[in-house]
Structure 1
Amino acid sequence: MNRANLVTHARTSIERGSKSFARASKLFARQTRERAWLLYYWCRACDDLADGQDHGHGMSTIANPEKTIAAMRMMTTRAHGGEQTGNPPFDAFGVVAQECAIPKKLADDMIDGFALDARGWRPETEDDLFQYCYHVAGAVGCMMAIVMGVSARDQEVLDRACDLGLAFQLANIARDVAEDAQAGRCYLPKSWLAEARIDPDHIMDPANRAALITLVNRLCDLAGDYEDSARVGASSLPFRSRWAVLAAAGIYGDIARAIKQSDGASLEQRIFTSKGKKLGWILKAFAQALINSARRDRQGLWTRARATRPA
């Protein structure tokens, strides 16, 4: 496919896979918007391959997950090097990687997160949780920042971009506790579960409900901390990119806030935010982008400098 066709397919993918991201992406300038779609297309495809899903829905067991991850790495390497793979999402990544000089390490870091899932990994500690969130989402935040024009050498802004990815993933984990448990997965650190006296293999036992709600709320609070930090990084972006990032932060941040306000309802049903609230964040983010006064240091927050390559 040529670039225009890849952009068309990428737009369809983001509109199917994430209405929140699709809405926020429309605030970018055209070139940035197209590049964001191309990057999303590849990320979504990798996630679906790893989980046996279709645009994030219908998780199924992968017969040979190690082989799937190996193929994912191979096609990503070829695409990053400028080769045509014949696989549209990977070719889309090749286009945006070439146009924006995305470091291959960031792509490798993301795939490392899927490799953790492939071998049934579970976090032992809170640090492990953040390591995982970095690999599957923080690295994506860094790549998105580069798509928006941030230099790969600007570590401070990339740290803030990583924070937004962490915030999104923490909200995802909080929202999907029950769904993950049904699939035999758990991203709540074992150290947290031990403190709460919850059996890691039976977290959905009704007797654990009150303690589990406390842990879900803890995830939501952490998501809020990293969302706040990411807003500072947005101040370094061009106006339209700043507007889009602040809108995405608010729209997705509302998921974590709604989960906490649900008082455990998220354990029975998937939490969504309304179109009205999404539109409200687009308007609110416009004002925030104009003021551009966010200030906060990162003291006490986990940093991607602590990320290591999974063994």
Structure 2
Amino acid sequence: MPNQTRAFLLGPLLKGVSRSFYLTLRVLPAGMRDPIALAYLLARAADTIADTSLIPPGQRLALLLSLRERINGTTCDDALIQRVAEEVAGQQIQSDEKVLLESLGPALDVLSQLGDPDRAAVSGIVSTLTDGMEFDLRTFPDEHSGQIVALNEYADLDRYTYLVAGCVGEFWTTMTYAHLPGTLKERPDVMAARGVRFGKALQMTNVLRDCGKDLRIGRCYLPQTLLARHGLDARDLLLPANSMRARPLLIELLRKALDHFRAALDYTLAIPAYAVRLRLACLWPILIGLDTLILLAQNEAWLDPQKVSKVTRQQVYRMIASSLLVAPFDSRVRSAVEARIAQIEARF
């Protein structure tokens, strides 16, 4: 593949579709950057297929499963690329996502050019992430059906957060040991477990932040058992006026998210201070996630999709600037994280 094509995929196109995550990718040490960026691109393409609601869920699922087989090397279905371009790319409102789907062939070529360990790791993580997308398509109704389905138990939510984010923590850890040997202070099994909880922290944040929006496409990730314990059902959450009534449920799930964030802090502090780029790549999503939870804990209309608790781009840039003086010092990293956790808990 020409170098300029690879450079476009892992440069301008990546920036166009990854938004804030692009900042984290760019600060990573060079050896880790390409396989993680490629995994993101492939997963984002799969996610775009899974989320294109103008296409029937069954058709999306068929394309998703075919893409997973192609990424895993169990099929050489060259017609898949054309099918994605014809059936999905033309439905995209965002031009960057359209270009991403039209660039799926070159992205798969880049995957084939990776060394064996990186190729296996990238294929594995994208496969697991597509398991999470398959879970969504099989569990929840068509977005236009007017129906709502809730997960059954907290274990279902916990499994879901692993499939769509916790597994990324494992992958990230694998890439770190492979490309920066001797850097992490803890054993691989300890770091992998913390990495899983790191990813779950970020996805729990997304679930709580996006609850109002997800409900309107028929998806309630807040489990029925928890809803029932607080005297609620999924349709009650459709009413923004019930935000305060549902606040005890929010607090219960915020506590679970904060426990995961504490593991994410331990993960970050296991990265030596001299590996500042790797530390920053972990610290930024933690701080953005906790700042989101601060807004959520303060939001008396958290179920209203018009009042989403979202950190602004300017706030992100200010956090990035201030973190440059924080990351090289264990005490400052711990203080920055624990102060945010305390601010959230003060709202309980």
| TM-score category, normalised to shorter length | 0.7 to 0.9
Distance 1:50 1:264 in 2: 29
Q: Which residue of 2 aligns with 1:131?
A: 159
Q: 1:74 to 1:209 in 2, by over 3 A?
A: same
Q: 1:219 to 1:162 in 2, by over 3 A?
A: same
Task: Report the AA paired with residue 272 of structure 1.
Answer: K
Aligned counterpart in structure 1 of residue 324 of structure 2, from 255, 261, 286: 286
Q: Which residue of 1 aligns with 2:35?
A: 35
Count of aligned pairs between the two proteins: 288
Q: Which residue of 2 aligns with 1:56?
A: none
Task: Report the AA paired with residue 59 of structure 2.
Answer: N
Distance 1:12 1:255 in 2: 27
Aligned counterpart in structure 1 of residue 283 of structure 2, from 219, 225, 246: 246
Aligned counterpart in structure 2 of residue 180 of structure 1, from 214, 222, 228: 214
- Displacement of 1:74 after TM fit? 0.8
Pairs within 5 Å for 1:196-215: 196-205=230-239, 208-215=242-249
Distance 2:4 2:192 in 1: 29
Distance 1:139 1:34 in 2: 18
Are 1:62 and 2:99 matched, yes or no? no
Distance 2:297 2:3 in 1: 42
Task: Report the AA paired with residue 258 of structure 1.
Answer: L
Q: 1:106 to 1:275 in 2, by over 3 A?
A: closer
Distance 2:239 2:57 in 1: 27
- For structure 2, the 5+ residue unaligned runs are 82-103, 141-149, 182-186, 335-348
Task: Report the AA paired with residue 318 of structure 2.
Answer: G
TM-score (structure 1 length as normaliser): 0.79
- For structure 1, the 5+ residue unaligned runs are 54-58, 296-311
Q: 1:266 to 1:191 in 2, by over 3 A?
A: closer
Q: Which residue of 2 aligns with 1:303?
A: none
Q: Which residue of 2 aligns with 1:75?
A: 70
Contact 1:42–1:89 (CA<8 Å) still a contact in 2?
A: yes
Distance 1:61 1:205 in 2: 28
- Displacement of 1:118 after TM fit? 1.3
Q: 1:263 to 1:2 in 2, by over 3 A?
A: farther
Distance 2:160 2:39 in 1: 20
Q: Which residue of 2 aligns with 1:234?
A: 268
- Displacement of 1:99 after TM fit? 5.6
Q: Which residue of 1 aligns with 2:138?
A: 119
Q: Residues 63-119 of structure 1: CA distance to partner in whole angstroms, max 9, x if unpaired? A: 4243133213212212999x9x86244445555674635175544332221111111
Distance 2:161 2:111 in 1: 21
Q: 1:226 to 1:182 in 2, by over 3 A?
A: same
Are 1:142 and 2:142 matched, yes or no? no
Q: Which residue of 2 aligns with 1:9?
A: 9
**Alignment root-mean-square deviation, CA:** 3.2
Q: 1:207 to 1:261 in 2, by over 3 A?
A: closer
TM-score (structure 2 length as normaliser): 0.71
Give the match's secondary structure for 1:42.
helix
Which of the pair has more CA radius of gyration?
2
